[in-house]
Structure 1
Amino acid sequence: MDPRPACCAPPGGPDGEPVRNGVPATPAADPPAHDDVALPGGVFAMGDAFGEGYPADGETPVHAVRLEPFRVDVTAVTVRRFAAFVAATGYRTEAEVYGSSAVFHQALAAERADVLGAVAAAPWWLRVRGADWSHPYGPLSDVAGLQDHPVVHVSWSDALAYCAWAGRRLPTEAEWEYAARGGLAGRRFAWGDETTPDGRWMCNIWQGRFPRVNTGEDGWLATAPVRSYPPNGFGLYEVAGNVWEWCADWFSPSYYARSPERAPQGPESGEHRVMRGGSYLCHRSYCHRYRVAARSSNTPESSSGNCGFRTVAAG
């Protein structure tokens, strides 16, 4: 098995120099209210206690982390919220500036001429001209009926721009895992240790044989609306599956061995930013990254049809 399978996130961004789209210099005059919850902070055990992680992801050693109180969004940022940001600022995402983004092959809604090719390391991902946050499956799609779905085709820089406007920030990786665990210590998932307790699907992931056969047992091929699955112990929805969520940190597989106990911020530099939570493409047989300790990453200018974000604020 590939030690770092690329089922969930297409590696790398579009060809060419990174786009510097700019971040709004000041927050909105009337920042939007966020549906969030206050978390008390404290000490928790971060990392993979089951030894199930891919070695190249660096989910070990399990280590103690101490966090201050903070507030975290109940859901990922939705299409509706991101549309309000774009309407208020005129912001153009990096996918729009580049002119293309990555779409999963079974969700494609585009003319053949707009398919610019498959991603070599993950051919189920297609580079599609005109795919962006408001055309999530390609230029023949739109977001009508998707207002309560998580926004996708947003890069790390796009997420940061939204945060600056909304007076929020991205969570650190440690904050994300603490929030996702929902108060459960040492468990495999945000709800316990079984994928489908009592036969219930607890998150939006792949069923069937990846990447060709999805039986759709959970009712979704791509994203599901936020709040489609039960919340965790802190009242947070879809911290497993549905869409990957950007974190603030640079990624390093060796970081846990040197991470400080108090409020770790990640490495000082790097080439990839951390993503957490897994997506609708995760499957135990190939990309078992909807576990609460699982880590992944991508270059900060990259975007795809299965990556979004949620925000945090001071407690």
Structure 2
Amino acid sequence: IYPWGNKLDSTKANFAKGKSGEKHITDSIDSHPEGKSYYGAYNMAGNVFEWVHDWYDPNYYKSSSDIRNPQGPSLEVISTKKILNKYQKLNDKKRVIRGGSWFAPAASITTTHRFWNNPMNNSYGVGLGFRCARDKEPETSLEARSYYMDALVQIGENKYQSAKESIENAINISPNNEEYISMKKLIEKTLN
């Protein structure tokens, strides 16, 4: 239930541990290496709550079959249902926040805990942050990118025939990549 396993370990995350006189502030991003996730991400528990892309619906998980990276409800679903609870006003859309923070209790740093906030509201102040993320590129995309980079190096050395061969290799792997196709046209124009 934690990024590192199923047992709470106060040395692996920055959260409010309830000790009197303890100084509570955010830590540097790499301050708890022993608490990093299976994927190598630091501070997925504690330090600061983090925005996630999902819109908040308090009942989403009751009706969803998604168990791996659930996307949450669409904004249209939220607008249609007008999901309200005692904290929300009509049309007051919320995004999910996760991870707990340096001033939050241990219960908030589990991977299953989620809360909400309006994106236009800064009620969490210094306890709320964000994390930029993207999907990992498939290995074939990385191989194609490597050929593309090689073509750029060859162009820099005025080796246009070698550059053309490299960019053709990239296009063979990613035939619809506009960047690679444009580069091939430029190389061919230079060769003619």
TM-score (norm 1): 0.34
Are 1:208 and 1:214, in contact at CA under 8 Å, matched by a contact in 2? no
| 1:203 correspondence with 2:13 | yes
Q: Which of 37, 40, 44 does residue 239 from structure 1 map onto?
A: 44
What is the CA deviation profile of residues 134-153 of structure 1, one whole-angstrom value per residue up to 9, with x for unaligned ones?
A: xxxxxxxxxxxxxxxxxxxx
How much has 1:268 moved relative to structure 2? 2.0
Cα separation, 2, equivalents of 1:305 and 1:204 = 14
How many residues get paired?
115
Q: Structure 1 residue 272 and structure 2 residue 94: aligned?
A: yes
Secondary structure of 1:289's counterpart equals helix
Name the one with the larger helix percent: 2
- How far the C-alpha of 1:263 sits from its partner, in A, is 6.1
- 2:7 aligned with 1:194: yes
In structure 2, relative to structure 1, the CA distance for the partners of 1:279 and 1:214 (3 Å cut) is farther
Deviation digits for residues 208-228 of structure 1 (CA, Å, limit 9, x no counterpart): 26xxx4424xxxx21111010
Question: 2:63 and 2:21 mapped to 1: Cα distance?
Answer: 40
Contact conserved, 1:243 with 1:278, CA < 8 A, in 2? yes
Per-residue CA distance 1:120-173 (angstroms, 9 max, x = gap): xxxxxxxxxxxxxxxxxxxxxxxxxxxxxxxxxxxxxxxxxxxxxxxxxxxxxx
Task: Determine which of 227, 237, 243 is the counterpart of 2:30.
Answer: 227
User: How many angstroms apart in 2 are the aligned matches of 1:263 and 1:207?
Assistant: 29
1:21-60 alignment runs, 5 A limit: none
Give the AA of the match of 1:253. Answer: P
Where in structure 1 do 4 or more consecutive aligned residues deviate above 4 Å? none
Give the TM-score normalised by the residue count of structure 2.
0.54
1:1-315 aligned at under 5 Å gives the runs 188-196=1-9, 201-208=11-18, 213-216=20-23, 221-230=24-33, 231-261=36-66, 264-269=70-75, 270=78, 271-284=93-106, 288-303=107-122, 304-315=125-136
The answer to whether the Cα contact below 8 Å between 1:240 and 1:278 also exists between their aligned partners in 2 is yes
Measured at CA, do residues 297 and 257 of structure 1 come closer, stay the same or move farther in structure 2, by a change above 3 Å?
same
Measure the CA separation in 1 of the matches of 2:101 and 2:130. 12
Query: What's the CA shift string for 1:64-109, capped at 9, x where partnerless?
Result: xxxxxxxxxxxxxxxxxxxxxxxxxxxxxxxxxxxxxxxxxxxxxx
Distance 2:37 2:21 in 1: 26
Kept in 2: contact 1:241–1:278 (CA 8 A):
yes
Gaps of 5+ in 1: 1-187
Q: Structure 2: any 5+ residue segments left out of the alignment?
A: 79-92, 137-192
* Deviations 1:245-278 (CA, angstroms, capped at 9, x unpaired): 1011110110012224386421123421000100
Whose strand fraction is larger, Structure 1's or Structure 2's? 1
CA RMSD of aligned residues (A): 2.0
CA contact (8 A) 1:190 1:240 kept: yes
Contact 1:245 1:308 in 2 (8 A): yes
